Amino acid sequence: MADLRTRIGSLELQNPIMPASGTFGIEMADIFDFDLLGALVLKTVTPHMRAGNPVPRVCELPNGMLNSIGIPSKGGDYLVDRIIPQFSAFKPPLVVSISANSAEDFAKFASRISVAGVDAIEANISCPNIEDDGHAFAMSTTATHKVIAAMRKATDLPIWAKLSPNVGAPADIARAAEDAGADALVATNTMLGMAIDVKSGKFKLGNVMGGLSGPALKPISLRVTYQCVRAVSIPVIGCGGISTVDDVLEYLMAGAAAVQVGTASFIHPMAMPDLIRGLDERLDAEGWETVSRVNGMLAQRREAANVLEYA
């Protein structure tokens, strides 16, 4: 048995595998034991009710998918009164993902959900669906700093900033989140994309544009994860296209302290428990005892430092 424990700020996780927000819910307790997971990350909730986007909300690609679900949300009261208690029976830390329309609303909502049973707040400042024309707070250093700083004043819970791959300089955004008081970063959310059905001449998504996820996203999120790891001293959680143990190892070698598994669970609902078991076996087989040992395995090349100049 390898030692899979990993530390995200003040939280110790029993292993580095957790769900990506929006791909996990209480329904999956019908399939596997949540107590196996490193942490539980809920679907993003907004302070007030939201209906979500028109269908079709998803479309498949050869090696991934696009979604424009649009964060349908039952609001903050439903989250606190109904959803959070549903997870009280499970042992892994509970991470609540939130989104709002302004820094002030993020702060108010962070305060509202800082209740017993919640162990960390993930700030979804990167959902490309929520702002006009795919814009998101995490595309700007100023907006990122403003949201995280406001949340920092409003809650004592750890704050994880979920960053966007739709940026030219991820390291700058990462530093802005760290400077504002984030306890960890999640890299990344989906990449903004589009698809057209050439037979009908129609957009494949009801909302025209949507977020790319799945294996097709992995090289981009892995690169951003690496850039963030190089830029900050807080833990970075990798997210994007992880479906195999090798994918997990790539992110860990890039320096991620943990990883989130999302789209893979849509195709293989047992993906997360399978990855935890597979990672354990792989670390044993390779003689790598710990996650932090894997973190340090990337052969450092001189060129790596130069990459930052393009970040």
**Which position among 9, 25, 181, 278 is part of the footprint of other proteins (CB under 8 A)?**
25
Q: Is the Cβ of residue 55 or residue 304 nearer to other proteins in the bound state? A: 55
Question: Is the distance from CB of 76 to CB of 99 less than 8 angstroms?
Answer: no
- Examine residue 31 and tell whether it contacts other proteins (CB under 8 A): yes
Q: CB 179: neighbour CB atoms within 10 A? A: 14
- Examine residue 61 and tell whether it contacts other proteins (CB under 8 A): yes
Q: Is the Cβ of residue 9 or residue 269 nearer to other proteins in the bound state? A: 269
Which alpha helices (DSSP H) does the chain contain, by range? 75-78, 84-86, 103-112, 141-154, 170-179, 218-231, 245-253, 263-267, 271-286, 291-295, 302-307
Q: How far is the CB of 71 from other proteins (least distance, A)?
A: 9
Q: How far is the CB of 172 from other proteins (least distance, A)?
A: 32
**Which position among 9, 32, 172, 195 is part of the footprint of other proteins (CB under 8 A)?**
32
Cα 240 to Cα 242: distance, rounded to the nearest angstrom: 6
Nearest to 215 by CA among 254, 263, 269: 263
Question: Is the distance from CB of 163 to CB of 187 less than 8 angstroms?
Answer: yes
- Examine residue 267 and tell whether it contacts other proteins (CB under 8 A): yes
**Which backbone phi and psi does 86 adopt, to 5 degrees?**
-60, -25
> Which tokens hold the place of 274?
């399978």
Q: Is the Cβ of residue 34 or residue 109 nearer to other proteins in the bound state? A: 34
Q: How many residues bind other proteins (CB under 8 A)?
A: 33
Instruction: Please indicate whether residue 127 is annotated as part of the active site.
Output: yes
Nearest to 163 by CA among 155, 152, 175, 153: 175
**Which position among 8, 16, 17, 24 is part of the footprint of other proteins (CB under 8 A)?**
24
- Examine residue 63 and tell whether it contacts other proteins (CB under 8 A): yes
Q: Is the Cβ of residue 51 or residue 198 nearer to other proteins in the bound state? A: 51
Residues in the site for other proteins, rule: CB under 8 A?
A: 22-25, 27-28, 30-33, 43, 51-52, 55-58, 60-65, 67, 69, 72, 214, 265-270
Residues that are catalytic: 127
